[in-house]
């Protein structure tokens, strides 16, 4: 069942009803009572469990659902269900898969307001941003639907009329494990290429955001995938480990932190399973003094404060050339002070709460250390209590800009995953590149300058998988996304993602008689 518990006939006849009703849901009212595992085309309760979890509405601090974390038996059931569906789906032509995926994209478009509302309730990001996430999600499915129909092998002519050809084949049952900052979008980034290539998937969202991915599973059933092709299990580390260790899993695609990514890779290595790792970052954004200042300031805002700063590719180390340091900093601080914090379901809110109290305390811990190490608080970095009484239990803080930063400070070296920008002055291109690359991470990087040669020289030297010139944090689905160094490997999005969800079979065909050397 969907977020809005209306009957299937009503859903069929009145597609706009959900939209109207979802906008009538207000913060502080939603409660989930439906099962959150999805197996064999239905919401189900897990057959065994390794404890319970609660998920919150971060804007109010209310518990909105309690669920059981799937045990080894349930994980196995989900994988077996996916395995059976794989037999059917993998035999479909690319065009047949494409049609189903386009239908799923259409349903997401039709239900986008409902999905965005649920994402906002469970994650805390503003409804404005959640709508963008949903748009990127259906675009991802449309893009991979297009590639599904175009997938083909090669023909190679050999001597004597013999020849060979390659077949691009799916891997089998793939596991997706997601983070909580983009719950619906991360699932689509994995599911799109996986299904286009003919795979099945068992997905585990973060236990902080278990809700929206179940809608995705329902949507794929409605779109016409074979029963069991996309199953969802819920839980944390233990459930994730059952998935990674399962012998019938062909691949693991993981989005999350570096320490967990390392564990996932270790588990997958035991079964020689390929992994895609989309991990954390501490990315540099370099602002040269010849930049269009207004764009550079806007770029820095986009690089730091989306989703309350809980974004893997954020450019949180903002290097500013010394002669514009004061002007740039003043402009950024002015803009940050104007960010409207509050109820994320309100149309004019641009910053909601952090995901939970633990994350908020973690961010405040970083800020305490920053103060002790000599950072200057130019604005923000404090607890924020909205006036609306229903928001009093939420996890709000004021977005923060730190000045007087040095490269050796903890706030500059470590991923904070909160709304905190560190500003660092620099003098020369050579110096800033050295400092920008002095990190174990390598997810993203950006440069603002009007000097076109310098722009390309700088991004060529940056040790990062996703680079931006005169912009930041745009990620159209056509562009490969992923990291260098400890930010992971493999790529999501773009044509190249197909390589990570398929394998090549070479077929060598003899047209003549076979001779033997023996």
Ligand X SMILES: NC(=O)c1ccc[n+]([C@@H]2O[C@H](COP(=O)([O-])OP(=O)(O)OC[C@H]3O[C@@H](n4cnc5c(N)ncnc54)[C@H](O)[C@@H]3O)[C@@H](O)[C@H]2O)c1
**Of 48, 222, 241, 248, the one binding ligand X by CB under 6 A:** 241
- Scanning residues 426 to 455, which ones bind ligand 2ZO (CB under 6 A)? none
Q: List the beta strands (DSSP E) in 210-308.
A: 230-232, 249-255, 275-278, 284-287
**Residue 418, binding choice from ligand X, ligand 2ZO, none, Cβ under 5 to 8 Å by partner class:** none
* Cα–chain center distance at 31: 25
CA pair distance 192, 142, nearest whole angstrom:
8
- Supply the minimum distance, in Å, between the C-beta of residue 509 and ligand 2ZO: 44
Residue 172 or residue 240: which is nearer to ligand X going by CB?
A: 240
Q: Is 312 in the site for ligand 2ZO (CB under 6 A)?
A: yes
Residue 50 or residue 464: which is nearer to ligand 2ZO going by CB?
A: 464
Q: Is 475 in the site for ligand 2ZO (CB under 6 A)?
A: yes
The distance in angstroms from the start CA to the end CA of the chain is 67
Closest alpha carbon to 350 in 396, 387, 319: 396
CA pair distance 297, 422, nearest whole angstrom:
13
**Stretch near ligand 2ZO under the rule CB under 6 A, chosen from 236-244, 284-292, 304-312, 402-410:** 304-312
Bridge partners, 39 (sequence order): 42
Q: Is 487 in the site for ligand 2ZO (CB under 6 A)?
A: no
- Supply the minimum distance, in Å, between the C-beta of residue 212 and ligand X: 14
Q: Is 279 in the site for ligand X (CB under 6 A)?
A: yes
**DSSP for residue 225:** P
Q: Is 171 in the site for ligand 2ZO (CB under 6 A)?
A: no
Which residue stretches of 164-257 are H helix? 183-196, 212-223, 237-245
The catalytic residues are 278
For 427-434, which contacts have Cβ atoms below 8 Å and span 24 or more sequence positions?
427/321, 427/322, 429/288, 429/454, 429/457, 429/458, 432/284, 432/286, 432/319, 432/321, 433/458, 433/461, 433/462
Q: Is 182 in the site for ligand 2ZO (CB under 6 A)?
A: yes
- Six-digit token string for 512: 């003549």
* Cα–chain center distance at 429: 32
Site size toward ligand X, by CB under 6 A: 28
**Stretch near ligand X under the rule CB under 6 A, chosen from 203-211, 293-301, 427-435, 498-506:** 203-211
Q: Is 473 in the site for ligand 2ZO (CB under 6 A)?
A: yes
**Of 187, 197, 311, 405, the one binding ligand 2ZO by CB under 6 A:** 311
Query: Which residues of the chain form contacts with ligand X (CB under 6 A)?
Result: 177-181, 204, 206-207, 236-237, 240-241, 244, 255-257, 260, 263-264, 278-281, 312, 415, 417, 443, 483
């Amino acid at each position: 069942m969907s977020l809005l518990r209306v009957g299937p006939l009503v859903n069929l006849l009145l597609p706009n009803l959900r939209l109207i009703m979802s906008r009538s849901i207000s913060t502080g009212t939603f409660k989930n009572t439906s099962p959150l595992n999805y197996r064999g085309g239905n919401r189900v309760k897990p057959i065994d469990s390794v404890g319970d979890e609660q998920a919150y509405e971060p804007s109010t601090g209310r518990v909105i659902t309690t669920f059981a974390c799937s045990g080894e038996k349930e994980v196995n059931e989900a994988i077996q269900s996916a395995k059976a569906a794989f037999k059917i789906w993998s035999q479909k032509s690319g065009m047949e898969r494409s049609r189903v995926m386009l239908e799923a994209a259409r349903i997401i478009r039709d239900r986008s307001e409902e999905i965005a509302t649920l994402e906002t309730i469970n994650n805390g990001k503003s409804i404005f941003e959640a709508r963008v996430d949903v748009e990127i999600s259906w675009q991802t499915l449309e893009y991979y639907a297009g590639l599904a129909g175009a997938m083909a092998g090669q023909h190679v002519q050999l001597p004597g009329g013999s020849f060979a050809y390659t077949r691009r084949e799916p891997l089998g049952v793939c596991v997706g494990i997601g983070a909580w900052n983009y719950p619906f979008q991360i699932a689509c980034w994995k599911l799109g290429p996986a299904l286009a290539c003919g795979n099945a998937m068992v997905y585990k969202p973060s236990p902080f955001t278990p809700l929206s991915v179940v809608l995705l599973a329902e949507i794929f059933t409605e779109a016409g995938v074979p029963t069991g092709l996309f199953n969802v299990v819920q839980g944390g580390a233990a459930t994730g480990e059952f998935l990674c260790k399962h012998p019938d899993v062909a691949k693991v695609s993981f989005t999350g932190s570096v320490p967990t990514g390392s564990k996932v890779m270790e588990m997958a290595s035991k079964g020689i399973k390929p992994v895609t790792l989309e991990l954390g970052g501490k990315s540099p954004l370099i602002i040269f003094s010849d930049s269009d200042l207004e764009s550079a300031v806007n770029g820095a805002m986009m690089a730091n404060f989306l989703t309350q700063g809980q974004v893997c590719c954020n450019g949180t180390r903002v290097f500013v050339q010394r002669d514009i340091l004061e002007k740039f900093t003043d402009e950024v601080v002015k803009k940050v002070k104007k960010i409207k914090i509050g109820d994320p379901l309100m149309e004019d809110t641009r910053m909601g709460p952090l995901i939970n109290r633990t994350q908020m305390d973690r961010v405040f811990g970083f800020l305490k250390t920053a103060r002790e190490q000599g950072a200057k608080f130019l604005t923000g970095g404090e607890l924020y209590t909205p006036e609306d009484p229903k928001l009093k239990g939420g996890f709000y803080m004021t977005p923060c800009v730190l000045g007087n930063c040095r490269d050796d400070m903890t706030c500059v070296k470590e991923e904070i995953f909160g709304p905190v920008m560190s500003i660092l002055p620099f003098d020369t291109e050579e110096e800033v590149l050295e400092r920008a690359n002095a990190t174990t991470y390598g997810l993203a990087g950006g440069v603002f300058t009007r000097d076109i040669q310098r722009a390309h020289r700088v991004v060529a030297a940056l040790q990062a998988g996703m680079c931006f010139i005169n912009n930041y944090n745009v990620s159209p689905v056509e562009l490969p996304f992923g990291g260098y160094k400890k930010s992971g490997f493999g790529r999501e999005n773009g044509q190249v993602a197909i390589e990570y969800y398929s394998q090549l079979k070479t077929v060598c065909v003899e047209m003549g008689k076979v001779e033997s050397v023996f």
